[in-house]
Every structure is written in structure tokens, then in C-alpha cells.
Amino acid sequence: MDTKYMGTPKVSAVIIAKNEEKMIGDCLESLIWADEIVVIDTGSTDNTSEIAKKYQARVVTYTSGKNFADWRNKGKQEAKGAWILYLDGDERVTPMLRSEIKAAVESPKHISAYAIPRRNFILGHEFKHCGQYPDYQIRFFAKENLLEWTGDVHEKPKFVGSLGHFKNPMIHEKHETVSEMIVKTNKWSEYEAKLMFEAHHPPMTIPRFISAMAREFVLRMIKQVAFLDGPMGIMYGQYQVFSRLVSYAKLWEMQQKGEHSK
């Protein structure tokens, strides 16, 4: 018998995690106020599950899901609360956001979902530009109005009803090292390239490579004024251009293999 709460919980916090032993403790600490904590463990080989259990979280091992949409849908299925708050292991709820969430739960307004602003810390530096703030994430839902999550790479929720916006942010400790950034880029560029390939993206040519890199540079360095975050901003903006290049390079590689297999 679950003794953490009696009856139906109001707020279920759902965390998607894999090998997050360095980060998940702070995430769980920021959620001890929730009526229920559910950790969807997607295949950890470290102490992620053991740490979660110390915080009385219910750990559900789910390795058959293919992407974040699948994992978040599993979280909805497992959550017992009338409201669901989704977090990743490297995200934290601030005290002010917690108060705002509790007020929303008790509010007579019929709002189905809330977008939460996110403060992103990259390599220990808080970014205000380069698309990193307010970086709204739709993560808090009345469970009955959340239909499903969709999307292979950048998952999105489908819900019925109105969308509200919280004023207070959550914290996102995005990357600790450049090596971690590169590992993530290598992983997600595979998904992005595959999606573009399956969507029959036009063959990558020199002009298309130049155009793609130029668009990303203009977006990050000019429109999103990455340089206003100082040297770190310039480095990160340029890194996003590199990330885009990797995705298109892998797309080109897939296209070449596809041509040769004909």
C-alpha cells in the first residue's frame, strides 16, 4: 500500500530519467511537496532508481519506449493525480513556482495546461539570450484534458482547453561540460537526420549546406543576440551552428547510402 498520500493525489510529478544520479537528487528535493512522484526510468545503469526511492518516488522501469513522447505518455498512464507536472532529471521547481502551481490547482479558473518559463544554465552560466529565455515549456496539465504527447525529437503535448502561462520559472541545469554537449548532439542529430531523410528532404548540396549554416548563424547570433551573453554566448551560438551542420551531414550520409543502395 502506498502510504505517501491518502485518497487521490492532486499533483503527480513525473520525471523522465536515465543515468541521472548526478542530477536527480536536486530535482526530487524540489518536488517533495508534490502528492506523488513518479520516475519513469528509461534504462538507467547507475544509481538513479535508488536515489529516487530515497525520496519515496515510485520508480517505473520502461525501456520499450522509443522517445520522449512515449516516455511522457507512460508517465501520464502511471500518474494518479488530477494534475501532472512533467520534469526532466536536470530540472528543478523553484519555491515561487511551487506556490504558483498550488494556487493554480486551487483556482476556480478552468485552465487545462500551463507553460512554464525556464532559466537555462549551460556550463554553469545562465543564458538570457540565444533562444534560452523565457524558453516556455508546456509541462503542467489537468490530466483529464491531456490527450497525448507526439513527436520523435521535439515532443509536443496535445490537450483540450485553454493554455495559461506561469510567471515564475523552473531551473534547467542544461550542460555541465562541453563533452556532454557533444554527446547529446551526436545522439539527437541521428534522430533529426532520420526524420529529414524519411520526409524526403531534397538532396544536400553545397548551396544547401551553406544556406542551412547561414540561417542558423543569423538566428542565433543576430535575431537571438547570443553575443549579449558574452563570450559564453558567442561560443554557444556558434556551437548551435555546428550542431545543425552535424544533423545535415548525417542526412547527407543517409542520402548517399540510399543512392548507392539503388
d(CA 222, CA 36): 43
Would you say 21 and 51 are in contact if contact means Cβ atoms under 8 Å apart?
yes
Let me know: does 223 contact 251? Beta carbons within 8 Å. Answer: no
Q: Tell me the average pLDDT of the chain.
A: 93
The reported pLDDT for the residue numbered 262 is: 57
Walk across the sheet containing 137-142 and list its strands.
Answer: 58-61, 36-41, 11-17, 83-88, 137-142, 113-116, 163-165
N-to-C CA span, the chain: 59
What would you report as the CA-atom Rg of the chain, rounded to the nearest whole angstrom? 20
CATH entry, 11-174, from 3.40.50.300, 3.90.550.10, 3.30.70.20, 3.30.450.20? 3.90.550.10
Q: What is the pLDDT of residue 5?
A: 46
pTM: 0.89
Stretch(es) of the chain classified as CATH 3.90.550.10: 11-174
**pLDDT of 189-215, one tens digit each?**
998 999 999 999 999 999 999 999 999
Q: State residue 3's pLDDT score.
A: 37
Task: Report the DSSP pairing between strands 36-41 and 91-93.
Answer: unpaired
pLDDT digits (tens, 9 = 90+) for 139-170: 999 999 999 999 877 899 999 999 999 999 99
Q: What are the mean pLDDT values of the chain's consecutive 10-residue runs (262 residues total)?
A: 54 96 96 97 96 96 92 97 97 98 93 98 94 96 97 90 98 88 92 93 97 97 96 95 97 87 60
Q: Would you mind telling me the total number of residues written for the chain in this entry? A: 262
